Amino acid sequence: MAIATATSVSIARAARQLQAGELVAFPTETVYGLGADATNSEAVARIFAAKGRPHFNPLIIHVLDIEAARALGQFNATATRLAETFWPGPLTLVVKKMPDAGIADLATPGLETIALRSPAHPVARAVLAQAGRPIAAPSANRSGRVSPTLACHVEADLGREVSMILDGGSAVHGLESTVIDASREPARLLRPGAIAADAIEAVLGCPLARGDRDDAERPSSPGQLARHYAPHARLRLDAHEVLPGEVQLAFGPALMSDGMIINLSPSGDLVEAAAVLFASLRALDEAGAAAVAVMPIPHRGLGEAINDRLRRAATPED
């Protein structure tokens, strides 16, 4: 049984498991979160594997307070005002990411921004304080299922994927945090949530821009990806041989070739491949690669999201 009643002992264990790169579900005041060390790429990759997400959507990074948040993102006047008013609480602020934030690429895939939230729930806060690092946590449900408000909901959905589920009773709001993009003027409501938009507008003294909900769900449009993550090299997907002049992006045992090889996972492990995917695409540019042969990557598990990203990265810039 993965469920443990939240006590000082079980919270300390949860913090150690997070530090060790394992997944821990914990209560917040909105819904239960599926937590992982946000600085550990493999741990973050495991979140996507556990949720069965077909894409690498950006994750909310949970921090104890605004001081911790400032190490990860740039707080302009709007972000500062909102954090001072609503934190700790169910408000997520999208701000410009610090260049040296040290957050796993997969948590903010292809974006120059980062979503930050300081939760109010005492169990979430105790976990953050003891783990001593930022925690990436989407809602602890499988992709396409509703967000969990009780530990038993998490167990039904993800019981086999997590090391531990901290039971802190029922999540109070039962509705996710409100997501505000404070990186642009005027600030934009990306996801309505537990804090009403008018309460935020009253603090700002001006209306929020309202976006298409799709913007929030899929902020890494192919255009953004082309700017930030598509390597300059031309990618040839599902390659079964390496042509002269091509660099090889391998998965599993590499193909015969005279050229350079970057291997996403020599052992053919999809979690490892996801964890190094973005760094590998950058390495292709650093190596000055012009053409890349990408070996086939299976479509099971995280392979679906990896193939999705590679397909976009292979789309030429217009």
Interface contacts to ligand TXA, rule CB under 6 A:
28, 30-31, 33, 57-60, 90, 92, 94, 108, 111, 113-115, 117, 137-139, 176-177, 179, 190-191, 216-217, 219
Buried b (16+ CB within 10 A) or exposed e, 80-98: bbbbeebbbbbbbbbbbbe
- Name the residue nearer to Mg ion (CB basis): 92 or 248: 92
CB of 60 to ligand TXA, least distance (A): 5
Binds 164: which of Mg ion, ligand TXA, none (CB < 5-8 Å by kind): none
For ligand TXA, the closer CB: 118 or 248: 118
Instruction: Give the residue with the Cβ less far from ligand TXA, 116 or 295.
Output: 116
d(Cα 13, Cα 19) in Å, to the nearest integer?
10
Write the single-letter amino acid at 149: T
Find which of ligand TXA, Mg ion, none residue 190 binds, CB within 5 to 8 Å per kind.
ligand TXA
Which entry of ligand TXA, Mg ion, none binds 178, CB below 5 to 8 A by partner kind? none
Min dist CB 73 to ligand TXA, Å, is: 9
Q: Does 139 bind Mg ion (CB under 5 A)?
A: yes
- The residues near 117 (Cβ < 8 Å, ≥ 6 apart) are 60, 61, 62, 63, 87, 90, 91, 92, 93, 177
Closer to ligand TXA by CB, 189 or 235: give it: 189
DSSP string, 241-286: S--TTPEEEESSSPPP-SS-EEES-TT--HHHHHHHHHHHHHHHHH
- Looking at 87-196, list the stretches that DSSP marks H as alpha helix, in order from N- to C-terminal side: 122-131, 151-158
For residue 177, the partner it binds in Mg ion, ligand TXA, none, with Cβ less than 5 to 8 A by kind, is: ligand TXA
Is there binding between residue 78 and Mg ion (CB under 5 A)?
A: no
How far apart, in whole angstroms, are the C-alpha atoms of residue 278 and residue 205? 40
Q: Which two tokens stand for residue 196?
A: 């009403």
One-letter amino acid identity for 17?
A: Q
Q: Which stretches of the chain bind Mg ion, using CB under 5 A? A: 139
